[in-house]
Each structure stands twice: as structure tokens, then as C-alpha cells.
Amino acid sequence: MSSIKEFQVTFDCADPERVARFWCEVLGYVVPPPPKGFATWEDYHRSQPAEERGAWFACTDPSGAGPRLYFQRVPEGKVVKNRVHLDVRVATGLVGEERLAALEAECTRLSALGAVRERLLYDGHDACIGMRDIEGNEFCLD
């Protein structure tokens, strides 16, 4: 039996390209080149049947270390809490006030992109900030 080394994280959403570009900004990811034979993503989308245009979008870690993120359009809206969420590791190795300051700075940056702060969990030593992305998906700054 072989061991799986590569995976992608898939998001259900209403506007795949918008959500993908948000996560590119959050994580420093990039939009991959359009499929072979197309100069731009717009050219590719125009080649698709109307009902499939904008049905998906993806972004990748430019270093190749992180997983590919895939965003697919679904007809239903988000109605319950995510069963899986991303922890964005911005304060690894930091504790106390230094950790809190790093988390708050990133929260401010992401809020300007459209993320919403939900709650701060802080015990004087460890901290994380619960947030939502531009379509309401939960994630944590850790």
C-alpha cells in the first residue's frame, strides 16, 4: 500500500474566483497559469459552456510545499459550521503579548480584505483568533 503525500483542500462556495483570490492574499498563494492553449483565464472561461463558466478556480503555493486550494461553485449557501477549517499559522513559536500582537496585526490585514473577526481566545500565554472568510467559512489565526 502506498502512502499519499499530496492532497488539495476543496471549498464549496458561490463565487470560486473571488474566494480563491481572497485566499491567495491570505496565504501568499498564486493563481496557476491558465490551461494549455489559453493565453488567459478569461479566454479559458469564455471557451466553456455558459453554465460551466466560473464553476471552479484554484490557487497554489508558489513554493510547492503547501496543498493546492480548489474552489467549486455549489448552488446552496453555507448554513452550518464547517466540519473542517484552516488554521493560518502566523504566530508559531510566539507566546503571550508578542503572540497576541502578531495575531492582531494579521487580523487587521485580513479584515481589510473582507474577513470577519469572530472571537479571540487568549489565556495570557496562548492565543488564537477565530475568523470567517468572505463567504463565511470559518478559519483560525494561530
pLDDT in tens, 44-97: 989 999 989 999 999 999 999 999 999 999 988 888 888 889 999 999 999 999
* Residue whose C-alpha is closest to residue 18's, from 60, 51, 54, 42: 54
Enumerate the β-bridge partners of residue 8: 68
Closest by Cα among 70, 68, 44 to 57:
70
Neighbour-count burial of 119, counting CB atoms closer than 10 A to its CB (0-12 exposed, 13-18 middle, 19+ buried): exposed
Q: Report how far residue 55's alpha carbon sits from residue 13's, in angstroms, rounded to the nearest whole number.
A: 10
E strand or H helix at 97: helix 96-112
Residue 125 DSSP class: S
Nearest to 139 by CA among 87, 101, 80, 100: 87
- The three cell numbers locating residue 7: 492532497
pLDDT band at 1 (very low <50, low <70, confident <90, very high): low
Give the separation between CA 69 and CA 99, rounded to whole angstroms: 27
Is the pTM higher than 0.85?
A: yes
Rounded (5°) CA angle 40-42-47: 105
**Which percentage of the chain shows pLDDT scores above 90?**
77
Q: Is the pLDDT of residue 4 over 80?
A: no
